[in-house]
Amino acid sequence: MSAGGASPGGVAGAGPLPPVGAGTVTTPAGVRAAGVHCGIKADRPDLALVVTDAPAAAAALFTTNRVAAAPVQVCRAQVARGQAQAVVINSGNANACTGLQGLRDAWEMVDLTAAALGLARDLVLVASTGVIGVPLPMARLREGIPAAARALGPHGDRAAEAIRTTDAFPKTGAVQVEIGGRPVAVGGMAKGAGMIHPRLATTLAVLTTDAAVAPAVLRQALREAVDASFNRISVDGDTSTNDTVIALATGAAGHPPVRTVAEPGFAVLRDALTALARHLALLVVRDGEGATKVVEVAVTGARSAAEAQRAAEAVMTSPLVKTAFYGTEPNWGRILAALGRSGAEVDPDRVTVTLGGVEVVRGGVGVADRLPAAAAAMREPAFTVAIDLGLGTGAWHGWTCDLTEGYVRLNSGYLT
């Protein structure tokens, strides 16, 4: 699946990724979920719970922001054991920059969930999303978490709805593959529309699978999947305090466990996770606050992959470039200026740029008669900016969106 029309591609030299279809976190066997309203938000679902029938292999990745929210700190400690059975997520309040009280509240969310489900405390993971700097309304969570536990069922759609903040729509999907001769499902949900940038992409996501896999192997598969998806998107260049991507593997598919990355099942699971994670990540970009376009930025010909990434991210995060995307203006000078300040090695005389398949720069000089065709290509809801630096074999690509008045309106009145 290719959200927004961007190319799906493969992973680490592998073949095409498996297709993504309809489904949720409860598509894999052995997973239940709930989404309820507990009163953090005025009138929308704001509390999600995902539970496996038995302890599951668990892995997670977190924000690289040094200002890490309390639930990130707690979840990081909890998931280190490599096993979990429940994930509790509230929206409407990030529980970030809330000091020792925030940590106590995050641990209380863990304890409330464990008590409601009859689980050991160390099997519960926690995440939060919403406004920074406001204490959690714990009285509401003390009532809401037991209510969510009572509502558990095949309700992945309700859980996805409950983790939304400024999202215009819930983000879900599922992949079907085969490991060891047995059908295996991977399902998931994500949220995110603003404060999105690579290095965990400022989102919350829960990916589930009924594959049988060792925790260390699941961790490696998740890391590779995130590097090819959530770590390649940017809406506004801001990395959140709360980024959390969690993977749970129930083992209910019944195939022999995948215990090493050398086994064929590892690549199958990694590619399934990657396909789903990329699907969800592209939905985040499509839902970027105020966005009207999904834009893939692909850099080739760099001295190294790291330099290609630097160059691409400079273009992806430039307000001048992103407003030109919105205005369907093929202002290629802004792209070259972003490349020049990116920190990557750039020789202007070797740079080629195409917009939506239309070459607008050749050898660092504009191709004037191609600008009308480029402007037309930029009116599509999804297009690619392809940049060849002409210096080497390094390549990297990611996805961004345009910058509109809608983003400014939303983020200039977020608290009021």
Q: Which residues are catalytic?
A: 202
User: Strand 382-388 to strand 294-302: parallel, antiparallel, or no bridges (unpaired)?
Assistant: parallel
Beta bridge partners of 314: none
Sign (positive/negative) of CA torsion 315, 317, 320, 324? positive
Q: How big is the CA angle at 173 (ends 10 and 106), to the nearest 5 degrees? A: 110
Going by the DSSP 8-state scheme, the letter that residue 195 receives in this structure is: S
Beta bridge partners of 192: none
Which bin fits 118, alpha (ψ -120 to 50), beta or left (φ > 0)?
Answer: left
**Residue written as token pair 């991210």:** 313
92, 37 in Cβ contact below 8 A? no
Question: 169 to each of 8, 88, 161, 163, 281, how far by Cα in Å?
Answer: 22, 20, 8, 11, 13
First to last CA, the chain: 38
Residues in CB range of 248: below 8 A, 6 or more apart:
31, 50, 52, 56, 57, 58, 84, 87, 206, 207, 208, 209
Q: What are phi and psi of 93, to 5 degrees?
A: -155, 120
279, 19 in Cβ contact below 8 A? no
